[in-house]
Structure 1
Amino acid sequence: MLNSPLQRYQQASVQTANPGQLILMLYDGAIRFTKLGIEGITAGKYDMANTNLKKAQAIIHELTASLNHSYEISKDLAQIYEYWLHRLIEANLKKEVQPAVEILNHLADMRESWKQIIKGSAGAGQSPLEASSV
């Protein structure tokens, strides 16, 4: 049950978002949780790091599950996502910041790429998912 106005707003945002917006939301979440995981490791708050890195991993699993395998690039994206998961797990297990920082940079770059794909496909009158591979 959603009690707060913020929770109701967030649910409505997800329910009314188009597929491209959902992808950006997933990347935003993965970026946010990876940053919090890094903060947790840096501060020695390993419960915080574990919780947030696992949330980032769950989002990457969702990105993997959303791939449309009728496109060739989906295979490449699946391998990228698998690598990201590996590095986040490594950061969490070893409580090392560097693997998570690496993935944070990749997440930010990929988010920007998706933003450009979505922006370009909107101008062409296409669904972003028709123009891309997820």
Structure 2
Amino acid sequence: MNYQKMKNNYLATEVLSATPNKLISMLYAGAIKAIKMAQMAAENDDPAKVHVNLVKAQDIIMELRYAVNEEVAPELGQQLIALYEFMYQTLVDANVNKTTAQLTDVINLLTELANTWQQLGE
């Protein structure tokens, strides 16, 4: 069995056995990683990898956005949705305009949300 297949099997097992709280944490980590990979690709002048990683981050942020349960706390839910939509649009703009200046802002927002989420889950 090759390394990539073993890695994929491990990830699939981790996702399938994760609690909902852990899944959200994994989504945050995945989005942050994808954006950092996009930044590195931009530094290496590889626009194709920038695009792939920004689209991955956009997809993850949309998953986070649709995971918001507005019924629990409607006002907070709407604020969180607006924040996800802001981050999503920032990533789209960065991808279309081929700029990475605002990516650190999105990473910082995601990191803050991830830390808050982790504290709530404890």
Where does residue 119 of structure 2 map in the other structure? 116
Runs of 4+ in 1 over 3 A off after TM superposition: none
Where does residue 97 of structure 1 map in the other structure? 100
Residue correspondence of structure 1 range 41-80 to structure 2 within 5 A: 41-70=42-71, 71-72=73-74, 73-80=76-83
Which sections of structure 1, spanning at least 5 residues, go unmatched? 120-134
Q: Report the identity percentage.
A: 29
Which sections of structure 2, spanning at least 5 residues, go unmatched? none
For 1:22, the aligned partner's letter is: L
The answer as to 2:9 corresponding to 1:5 is no
- How many residues are paired up? 117
Where does residue 91 of structure 2 map in the other structure? 88
Deviation per CA, 1:91-111, whole angstroms, max 9, x where unpaired?
111221111111011111111
Aligned-residue CA RMSD (Å):
1.1
CA distance in structure 2 between the aligned counterparts of 1:102 and 1:61, rounded to whole angstroms: 17
CA distance in structure 2 between the aligned counterparts of 1:62 and 1:9, rounded to whole angstroms: 21
Offset of 1:58 from its aligned partner? Answer: 0.1
For 2:8, the aligned partner's letter is: Q
CA distance in structure 1 between the aligned counterparts of 2:47 and 2:26, rounded to whole angstroms: 26
For 1:74, the aligned partner's letter is: G
